[in-house]
């Protein structure tokens, strides 16, 4: 028998439960939350695995997706409310019960289109199915109490700014404090708010096979709510379009699913046809194939990655897009100077491993799983990778460094440390005009643009990204 918390709530158990196939969107979301919490799974992979094993309708899959992502996004606020109602919350409550209560409260607070009684009834049904009558009664009591008293998160007045933002927008306090220190309170709050918005879908047009205008017209004819991107000249944005990777346009190699911010990396590198280009950390191949498209499939793009099993991801991408100049290579990026001729590349792209705080909207568990110690360790690795990549840039060549994070230690500070150590490199502000234009119009960069940019998630509703372009002296 497990122990019980306030009101008889079951304390955490450590035995293994028998696997159950999710019978509805809430059970599917519950399974995703359990995999993330107990196994450390990535939310996207867990969701894909669960939904693949179910026969849910498209609307039910959409609901399961919203429940899973939304619950993880709002975890801080959810636990604040439930901790006042459940003794020992959350650690002394059995994992499946706390996940069920969390996703149920998320519905009551943030999904107005779902009647409160439906959310409560479904939670009780699942509790009866997985547990015993006592548990279902307790779940029923907690949720009906929330309905009766109001589901809004009551943020106490007079909190310091970081605590208020942390609770209102559900981000770890330490992360909010860092962002306030780096960007100021209004920007930090805007970033946190943007991270809780659902991500929109964006695709990169393969200009070797079609035009953006033609693809956009076809999408509109198919009934999709699509528009051109305000950030990338290669992008089309779609709202509530389902999986664009399951469309004929994708199968025929007319598009690649990629975030708009990520598209700026290859565009800023500005490789020319006939060049030799290296992508040091290439999987799954989005930036490598974009480089090849910009080069009009003329020249050589070496797409390297450390993981052998990811070679197929890159190979599949290049074949689908019809890009013969992409060559895959498997190596630790730190070892590349021993495997490739020194100073032999016109362009070297290092899209470095990072803390990922720019993609919280897509991977909400990141904000709960990462620590300040992770940032310090990653910054040290990034420095080593930059030194390795630099050895391969030819005189007059270009080195592009990018991350999908917004931690200054991993971005601007990493670049400044590198430039101090390698004075033969300098920042290069001569980016293509079409890349800089939207950044200037939105005020992201100004007239004193140095050659590096920090995109934040609220700037364009895209991922947070850092990009620096450097030139090696002749």
Residue by residue, DSSP assigns 302-327 as EEEES-GGGHHHHHHHHHHHT-TTEE
Q: Is-catalytic flag, 2?
A: no
Side-chain half-sphere CA neighbours of 97 within 13 A: 30
Distance CA 345, CA 341 (A): 9
d(CA 102, CA 80): 11
Q: Is residue 381 within 8 Å of residue 311, measured between CB atoms?
A: no
Residue 283 and residue 288: Cα distance in Å, rounded? 8
Q: Do residues 33 and 68 make contact, with C-beta atoms less than 8 angstroms apart?
A: yes
Q: Which residues contact 448 (CB under 8 A, 6 or more apart)?
A: none
Of 99, 192, 280, 404, the catalytic one is 404
Our CA angle for 227, 228, 229, nearest 5°, is: 115
The residues pairing with 301 across neighbouring beta strands, listed in sequence order, are: 277, 326
**Residue 278 region, left (φ>0) first, then alpha (ψ -120 to 50), else beta?**
beta
Those residues whose C-beta lies under 8 Å from the C-beta of residue 109, and which sit 6 or more positions away, are 74, 77, 78, 81, 151, 152, 153
DSSP string, 141-183: HHHHHHHHH--S--PPTT--HHHHHHHHHT--HHHHHHHHHHH
Ordered DSSP codes for 48-97: HHHHHT----HHHHHHHHHHHHHHHHTHHHHHHHHHTTSTTTTTTS-HHH
Any idea which residue has 């974009």 for tokens?
290
Give the gyration radius of the chain's Cα atoms: 24
User: Catalytic residues, which ones?
Assistant: 404
């Amino acid at each position: 028998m497990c122990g019980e918390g306030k009101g008889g709530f079951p304390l955490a158990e450590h035995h293994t439960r028998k696997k159950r196939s999710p019978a509805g969107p809430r059970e599917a979301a519950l399974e995703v939350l359990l995999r993330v919490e107990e196994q450390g799974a990535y939310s996207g992979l867990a969701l894909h695995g669960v939904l693949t094993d179910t026969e849910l309708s498209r609307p039910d899959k959409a609901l399961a997706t919203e429940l899973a992502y939304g619950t993880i996004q709002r975890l801080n606020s959810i636990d604040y409310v439930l901790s006042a109602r459940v003794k020992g919350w959350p650690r002394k409550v059995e994992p499946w019960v706390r996940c069920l209560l969390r996703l149920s409260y998320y519905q009551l607070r943030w999904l107005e289109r779902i009647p409160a009684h439906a959310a409560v009834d479904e939670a009780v049904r699942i509790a009866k199915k997985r547990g015993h009558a006592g548990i279902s009664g307790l779940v029923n009591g907690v949720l009906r109490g929330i309905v009766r008293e109001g589901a809004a998160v009551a943020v106490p007045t007079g909190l310091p700014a970081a605590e208020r933002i942390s609770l209102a927008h559900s981000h770890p306090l330490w992360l909010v404090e860092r962002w306030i220190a780096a960007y100021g309170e209004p920007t930090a709050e805007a970033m946190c708010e943007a991270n809780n918005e659902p991500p929109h879908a964006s695709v990169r047009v393969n200009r070797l096979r079609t035009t953006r205008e033609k693809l956009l017209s076809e999408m509109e004819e198919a009934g999709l709510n699509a528009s051109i991107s305000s950030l990338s000249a290669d992008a089309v944005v779609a709202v509530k379009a389902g999986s664009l990777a399951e469309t004929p346009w994708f199968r025929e190699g007319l598009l690649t699913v990629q975030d708009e911010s990520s598209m700026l990396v290859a565009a800023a590198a500005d490789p020319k046809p006939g060049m030799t280009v290296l992508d040091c950390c290439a999987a799954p191949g989005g930036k490598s194939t974009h480089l090849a498209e910009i080069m009009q499939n003329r020249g050589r793009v070496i797409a390297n990655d450390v993981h052998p099993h990811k070679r197929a991801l890159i190979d599949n991408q290049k074949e689908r897009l019809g890009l013969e100049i992409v060559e895959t290579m498997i190596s630790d990026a730190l070892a590349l100077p021993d495997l490739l001729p020194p100073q032999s590349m016109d362009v070297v792209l290092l899209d470095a491993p990072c803390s990922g705080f720019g993609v919280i909207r897509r991977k909400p568990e990141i904000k709960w799983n990462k620590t300040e110690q992770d940032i310090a360790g990653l910054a040290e690795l990034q420095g080593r990778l930059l030194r390795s990549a630099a050895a391969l840039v030819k005189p007059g060549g270009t080195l592009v460094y990018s991350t999908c994070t917004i931690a200054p230690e991993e971005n601007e500070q990493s670049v400044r440390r590198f430039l101090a150590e390698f004075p033969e490199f300098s920042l290069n502000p001569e980016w293509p005009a079409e890349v800089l234009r939207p950044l200037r119009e939105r005020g992201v960069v100004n007239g004193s643009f140095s050659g590096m940019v920090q995109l934040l998630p609220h700037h364009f509703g895209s991922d947070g990204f850092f990009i620096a372009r450097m030139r090696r002296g002749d």
